[in-house]
Structure 1
Amino acid sequence: MALWSLRTTPSRATGYTPFFMVYGSEAVLPTDLDYGAPRIKAYDEQGAKVSLKDAMDQLDEARDFALLRSDKYQQALRWYHSRRVRGQAFNIGDPVLHLVQSNKDCHKLSPPWEGPYVVA
């Protein structure tokens, strides 16, 4: 149930669901089958084959659009983050902490910082 929910929820970055990005059409939800959604009632086998070919042509365009939208989203996140980051100047003799880069041989309660070190 959790995977189904994740795969059928539109991403904020791309605007599309992961299911659409892979298969080129939106998933048929179980509730659509139970309650007879218009999409289910209007299904036609011959029309589905033709529309599948059209959807495959449009899928590349949708993926390109999703890539552009994702880049724009990441740029907005970088801008949001960078305007809140304050510059920090260190002087000789200041104690500082160092972020641990490798999580090898660490467990979830290990401290993420090592130190303190003194600026030379």
Structure 2
Amino acid sequence: MNGVVEVANKNIKKILRKMINNHRGWHKMLPYSLLGYRMTVRTSIGATPYLLVYGTEAVIPVEIEIPSSRIILEAELSDVDWVRKRIVQLTLIDEKRMVIVCHGQLYRQRMIRAFHKKVRAKIFKIDQLVLKRIFPHQDEYKGKFAPNWQGPYMVRKVLSGGALVLSEMDGTEWPKPINSEAVKRYYV
């Protein structure tokens, strides 16, 4: 749940940045950015958060000043007809939510398939030469203009789960295994 809140906060910040010129006055624009966030259709669910909560799309302030066709149709309804229409909307809210859950599941499956299309299993063999990635948190890291790979090293053991035991070219074996995602093949 915490990740969802972080993503929401990040998106609200993006909206706010587009609405203000400097860091002053952001609190005045916050209600508008929240409204925009709640009324934006999420690709993952195919609906707005407002629709999920209230069962109908929100009326934006502009629609009150310059009525849209939806507002005009609702304004022409009698109070009894409007109440009936609203009750129908509320009775269908569970059905809308189920459709949105199905949409979300299909979207998730599409994302998984797209991810798996790009992922190729790295298969290493003993005595194969590899290069090891240098990550920014490592002591070997020399800045962004320095090489990203070091080596070559030799694969000594291939462990289950994609871990490798490497050795220096002189044969001294590393004490810790390394994830195969952090190495690539070295071609001589």
- Settle same-fold status: TM greater than 0.5: yes
1:80 correspondence with 2:111: no
Larger RCO: Structure 1 or Structure 2 (Cα < 8 Å, ≥ 6 residues apart)?
1
Q: Helix, strand or coil: the match of 2:59?
A: coil
Structure 2 CA distance for partners of 1:57 and 1:112, relative to 1, 3 Å: farther
1:27 correspondence with 2:58: yes
Q: How does 1:29-108 map to 2 (within 5 A)?
A: 29-42=60-73, 43=75, 44=77, 45-90=79-124
One-letter identity of the residue aligned with 2:85: S
Structure 2 CA distance for partners of 1:112 and 1:48, relative to 1, 3 Å: farther
Distance apart, 1:48 and its partner CA: 2.0
- Which segment drifts farther, 65-74 or 88-97? 88-97
**For 1:45-94, what per-residue CA distance to the aligned partner results, in whole angstroms no more than 9, with x for missing partners?**
32221112111111111111111111000000000001101212345696
Distance 2:137 2:61 in 1: 44
Distance 1:13 1:112 in 2: 34
Q: Name which one, 1 or 2, has greater alpha-carbon Rg.
A: 2
Tell me which residue corresponds to 1:106: none
Tell me which residue corresponds to 2:46: 15
Distance apart, 1:112 and its partner CA: 7.3
Q: Helix, strand or coil: the match of 2:51?
A: helix
Q: Point out the structure with the larger strand share.
A: 2
Count of residue correspondences: 107
Distance 1:112 1:31 in 2: 50
Structure 2 CA distance for partners of 1:112 and 1:67, relative to 1, 3 Å: farther
One-letter identity of the residue aligned with 1:81: F
| TM-score relative to the length of structure 2 | 0.49
RMSD of aligned alpha carbons: 2.8
